[in-house]
Amino acid sequence: MSIHDYPVYFFLVAGMILSIISRKLTITGAITGAIVGLLVYKGAGYTGLAMLVLFFISGSGATSWRLNKKQQLGIAEKNKGRRTAAQVLANGGVAAILGGIAWYFPERAVIMQLMMAGSLAAATADTLSSELGSIYGRRFYDVITFKKIQPGPDGVVSLEGTLIGMVGAALIAITYVLGFGLSYFGWVIIAAGFIGNLFDSILGATLERRHLVGNNVVNFLNTCIGAGACLLLQLLVN
């Protein structure tokens, strides 16, 4: 344990306490979030932690934004968006696993960090497109049939929501390149975020809408796809 890690440990504990007080996370959700943050930091340093914090802040803000209107539309998250341990793992579990691998196998850190960014880009894109697209979208479509539909059901998309999601993925990409250096990886991360978000909608319209899986499973698969897309795109470019 390095003395340089102490500020991070303090930050994680402070964030855990603050998220409980502000009712952004349940107690178990906050503890789980701190563990996820620790693994991400160990595997990707301050840059990884910055990407995770950016996802959490932007996602929490988007969830709370114009909550009354979302409640009127019947699309607001339950418990006023207070996230549980399961939701934390659904969105950050893949990043934590990849961080743990990068920590234990430092020779694989570069690709693990890229995949971590892809998973968080997909999570951010999904959260922002869902929470803000429902507010600012003008026309909504079923992602499978492309028929016009009212916002609310799983698998409904809008142009505005999709673009907002790409902005979210771009924020993660910018954080990555600022921390690890400018490279084409930034575009890979944005593309991975878009791909993960698209597949999240497809899974929502097929499996989740039929109650075959829950939202947490869909979100976890979304981050898996974002991470996998980063790996495949990096291999294709190389």
Per residue in 19-45, pLDDT tens? 999 888 899 999 999 999 999 999 999
Mean pLDDT of all residues in 178-204: 94
The range of the structural domain enclosing residue 64 comes to 3-237
> 193 pLDDT exceeds 60?
yes
Residues 196-226 have pLDDT tens digits of 999 999 999 999 988 899 999 999 999 999 9
Mean pLDDT of all residues in 54-61: 90
| Residue 13 pLDDT grade (very low, low, confident, very high; cuts 50, 70, 90) | very high
Q: pLDDT: is 30 or 64 the higher one?
A: 30
- What's the pLDDT score for residue 123? 97
- What's the pLDDT score for residue 135? 86
Task: Quote the pTM value.
Answer: 0.92
Quickly list DSSP for 96-127: HHHHHHHHH-GGGHHHHHHHHHHHHHHHHHHH
Backbone angles phi, psi at 219, to 5 degrees: -65, -40
| Residue 46 pLDDT grade (very low, low, confident, very high; cuts 50, 70, 90) | very high
Number of domains present in the structure of the chain: 1
* E-strand stretches of the chain: 141-142, 156-157
Residues in a beta bridge with 232 = none
Backbone angles phi, psi at 67, to 5 degrees: -60, -35
